[in-house]
Structure 1
Amino acid sequence: MEFARVGFRGTLPGTRPARRLVAIPAVLLVLLAGGCAERNPDPVPAEAATPSSTVDLSTLPEATTFGRTPRAPRDPDPQGTTDGVVLRVEQDIAVYDSVRGKAIARLPARQFKSPTWVPIVAERGDWARVLLPSRPNGSTGWVRADSDRVHKARSRHVVNVDVDARRLVVLEDGREIGSWKVGVGKEDSPTPLGRTFILASIRETVTDYSPIILPLGTHSETFTTYGGGPGTVALHGWPDPGVFGTASSDGCVRVPADALSLLRSLPLGTLVRLR
């Protein structure tokens, strides 16, 4: 794990949250993974927005891989990078459409039974703009980063996937530490482009094509569902090495075993750039 807590003035040494592998009930795992196997600088005004504690979170759509947040603003720089800062959601919080804007969604503390970590793509004062895991792809929102419901950390890693070249590269502090040919989506079910993140880490209990599945915060643009699930795109292994370097999946990124071994060690919330 390469997490370090950060304060508002920079990186501080601190604890490294343990990466959790969670066993998902068989029916849910089939819904998630079955399709991957084969288809079925503006200053911030002094006034604060309504705190999450006074917003009726139950009335807001949930920002999860199963949810839709149609009022969420789109990512302004889908091929951009970040400074590596990620936000841990300790308790459910409200997501806003702008600084001091309207509450548009609820970001829960857990995703697939894993703790919620989301990348910060912009900051203004005590506000942070984060990537969301919900549909439509590229959804973002603003949250209060000074709340006791959240804390910041930093991931030293970035995962770049060049879809046309069918190559995945892992960077650590800007330095390449691994590069592999991978399988990507077929022409009629392409891997969606844009920046996203590692949403969760799931131990496979249903099939044997990949011991670990790493769902991302993005979805197939072709299929509304994979086998009845939300159509979540993932990084995962594949037993047949012949798929690496080909466009052969329904949108997921199929990786070799040594790539998966490294990817599973990365912190949740780590930025993944599909381009």
Structure 2
Amino acid sequence: MDPMFRSLTPGGPAGTLPVLAAVAVLAVASACSSSETSAESEETAEAPERGEGATGGHIATVLADEIEIRSEPDGGEVVHTLASPNDFGADRVFLVRRTRGDWLEVLLPVRPNGSTGWIEADDVEVTVTAFRVVVDMSEFSFTVTEGEEELRTGPVGIGTSDAPTPPGEYYFTELLRPPDPGGEYGAYAFGLSGHSDTLESFAGGPGQLGVHGTDDESGLGGEVSHGCIRVSDDDITWMAERLPIGTPVEITE
């Protein structure tokens, strides 16, 4: 992660223009295939599986000015209360993992990475995106897909050995516009739901990860950052014009 998350301002095409992919409201009460035991099969519906072969995701956007996150559905302990908009003025969103009756299990933008919790379906609007971003750190590359179609690939810069980029499943939490589009953070920067595993804080921020452009593309294809993913300005602008907040991002080793 880089100091951008205390110096950038919200904004950009994906926050002001219609999403270019096919995005539809998901009826969260509709039945889907379940991987739960037979005793729960009638009340639990799985969201599309994450990981190998997964495409797109279900995005839950908070409707009120805050939302309670519970440890379990229907009466579990409140473990977080998160405001909406978030600290950068973006709508609070979550990536849905599965549904159980009137409850959704969602991926959370908190430490430790990979944390999940339960929210009430009535507190959010759920949409579907076919987009997905996969970052392959072993190849120093990213790929954006829409369903099964590969749309764009390109080189990336990743964290150094002192502050490595942690692999895992994340999602975009906000789109930010640097004050100087020709500067070190490039034309745009997406915040990620994950955090550095080695830095508890950085430049006054919480050590949040991001995907951003760069004014020095010679660093792409190597270990150059404090954990953030760097891409070319052409690639980050392309993403900013198309990918909605909530787009799933998988980072692999």
Q: Deviation at 1:108? A: 2.2
- Secondary structure in 2 matching 1:123: strand
- Percent identity over the alignment? 30
Q: 1:45 to 1:84 in 2, by over 3 A?
A: closer
Task: Tell me which amino acid in the other structure corresponds to 2:244.
Answer: P
Cα drift, residue 44 of structure 1: 8.4
- Give the equivalent residue in structure 1 for 2:152: 178
Q: Give, in angstroms, the shift of residue 126 of structure 1.
A: 1.5
Q: Does structure 1 residue 194 correspond to structure 2 residue 156?
A: no
Q: How does 1:2-151 map to 2 (within 5 A)?
A: 2=21, 3-8=23-28, 9=30, 41=36, 43=40, 79=51, 81=54, 84-91=57-64, 92-100=66-74, 101-111=76-86, 112-145=88-121, 147=122, 149-151=123-125
Give the 3-state SS of the residue equivalent to 1:211 in structure 2. Answer: coil
Deviations, residues 127-170 of structure 1 (Å, cap 9, x unaligned): 1111111112111101111x1x3111011100000112111100
TM superposition score normalised by structure 1: 0.72
Q: Is the 8 A contact 1:78 1:194 kept in 2?
A: no
Question: How many angstroms apart in 1 are the aligned matches of 2:228 and 2:193?
Answer: 12
User: Where do 4+ consecutive residues of structure 1 move more than 2 Å?
Assistant: 42-46, 77-83
Q: Per-residue deviation at 1:206? A: 5.9
Structure 1 residues not aligned, in runs of 5+ = 11-40, 47-76
Q: Summarize deviations over 1:161-218 as a string: whole Å, max 9, x none.
A: 0112111100011211000111001112110111000000111126722121111001
Instruction: Measure, in 2, the Cα distance between the counterparts of 1:44 and 1:89.
Output: 27
What TM-score results when the alignment is normalised by the length of structure 2?
0.78
C-alpha contact 1:82 1:120 (8 A) present in aligned 2: no
What residue number does 1:235 align with?
211
Measure, in 1, the Cα distance between the counterparts of 2:55 and 2:94. 12
Cα distance in 1 for partners of 2:140, 2:93 equals 27
Moved more, 203-212 or 173-182: 203-212
Q: Secondary structure at the match of 2:236?
A: helix
Aligned-residue CA RMSD (Å) = 2.2
Amino acid at match of 2:92: T
1:266 to 233, 240, 243: 243
Measure the CA separation in 2 of the matches of 1:163 and 1:269: 21
**1:258: Cα distance to partner?**
2.0
Within 1, Cα distance between the matches of 2:125 and 2:169? 22
Q: Which amino acid aligns with 2:112?
A: P
